[in-house]
Amino acid sequence: MAFEKVKEIIKEAPAFTQLSDLAAERLGGKVLYATDDFFAEKENLLKPTRGIFITDKYTDRGKWMDGWESRRKRTSGHDWAVIQLATSGRITGFDIDTNFFLGNHPPHATIEAVNITDADAITDWDTVAWKEILPKSHLDAGSQNFYESQSNEIFTHIRLHIYPDGGVARLRVYGEVFKNWDAVSTEQEIDLAAAINGGKAIACNDMFFSAMGNLIMPNRGANMGDGWETKRNRTPNNRDWVILKLSHPGVAERIIVDTCHFKGNYPDSCSIECCYTANDTDVLNDTVEWSNLLPQTKLSADNEHEYSKEINTPNTITHVRLNIFPDGGISRLRIFGKIIK
């Protein structure tokens, strides 16, 4: 089948895909090594969005492909790549995505994992005490291949094996961030909402243009799509909202609301509420008592808004609700403070 006539094969995503992608490049994941990436670079494995296809794009090595692709193996063995997770975590499942790899995808894959603290000292990845967490599994061409992890241990690195060679567009490693809070001082300022620390976006009323999870990604937004943006709302006095679960109970001392790249579509104003609960269900059912953390305040286009004196600091909080009036886009939300143990 000609490449230009191929349509994506889309499968229903399992529930674990709602968890954090621990390997995501934008979160800090890295591909450290691959046995071969002759046709397409190993770093593509962790790029955001699914791989794309450009019909007439070629390189001096052959057809340009948006993924990791090794050459056709003419010797014994198989190819593999080592990925450093953005943060240590418990892995729940995988998406081994062969999007647009059709006559050149690997028919099988396995995944191993390890928890190590000094990867820089490793000179031979074959000497590492890997643990298999995904046995040899079939891969469909041009498709998302979802599999559950066979271990709930804490890992820092994984190794993707493909048999015997070929191309994988993306690898997603879904799970829960693990952070050793015993090593964090109660006097240390930390972004309590940051995904890298274990913060989560758990609900919103609208994310028509871009996902709520972008709010707590590292760095400033790369573009207007790298934020949380709601559709235009024509209802008078409308309020859009998103709820974040903080990485650890704490006290908020400084807040940044960043409208980076949002110029003709930033919200007119925002407010932030907070609560304390050990139960996400109560938050999702709106049976908690919300307190005013940041009063409604005006926003401006493409700008970092920092607040400290304006904050009504309660004792301890676990969740925040960002309200925007009437609609629009926010690039990042930072809730800096100190943890309470």
Structural domain including 223 reads 183-339
Residues 6+ apart with CB under 8 A from 305: 256, 257, 258, 259, 297, 299
Q: Are residues 159 and 59 located together in one domain of the fold?
A: yes
Q: Are residues 196 and 100 located together in one domain of the fold?
A: no
Q: Are residues 96 and 164 located together in one domain of the fold?
A: yes
Q: Are residues 62 and 170 located together in one domain of the fold?
A: yes
Q: Are residues 15 and 43 located together in one domain of the fold?
A: yes
DSSP letter (8 states) at residue 103: S
pLDDT in tens, 246-258: 999 999 999 999 9
On average, the pLDDT of the chain sits at: 95
Can you read off the two tokens belonging to residue 94?
């995988």
Q: With a threshold of 0.75, does the pTM exceed it?
A: yes
pLDDT of residue 313: 78
pLDDT in tens, 120-178: 899 999 999 999 999 999 999 999 999 999 999 999 999 999 999 999 999 999 999 99
Domain boundary among 177, 197, 231: 177
pLDDT of residue 4: 40
Q: Are residues 244 and 335 located together in one domain of the fold?
A: yes
Q: Cα 98 from chain centroid? A: 19
Lowest mean pLDDT among 5-14, 18-27, 245-254, 289-298: 5-14
* Average pLDDT over every residue of 111-126: 94
Domain boundary among 142, 177, 212: 177
CA separation for the pair 68, 126 (Å, rounded): 20
Q: Are residues 197 and 332 located together in one domain of the fold?
A: yes
Can you read off the two tokens belonging to residue 269?
């104003």
pLDDT of residue 6: 43
Q: Considering its fold, how many domains does the chain have in total?
A: 2
Nearest to 268 by CA among 303, 239, 299: 299
Phi, psi of 241 (to 5 degrees): -150, 160
Q: Are residues 46 and 171 located together in one domain of the fold?
A: yes
Domain boundary among 137, 153, 177: 177
Sorting pLDDT into bands at 50, 70 and 90, what band is 9? low
pLDDT of residue 10: 61
Q: Are residues 213 and 161 located together in one domain of the fold?
A: no
Provide the residue count of the chain. Answer: 341
Write the secondary structure of 142-164 as one string of H (helix), E (strand) and C (coil). CEEEEEECCCCCEEEEEEEEEEC
Q: Are residues 135 and 206 located together in one domain of the fold?
A: no
- Give the amino acid at 313: T
| CATH for 173 | 2.60.120.260
Q: Are residues 196 and 218 located together in one domain of the fold?
A: yes
Cis ω before 48 (30° cut-off from 0) = no
Q: Are residues 189 and 254 located together in one domain of the fold?
A: yes
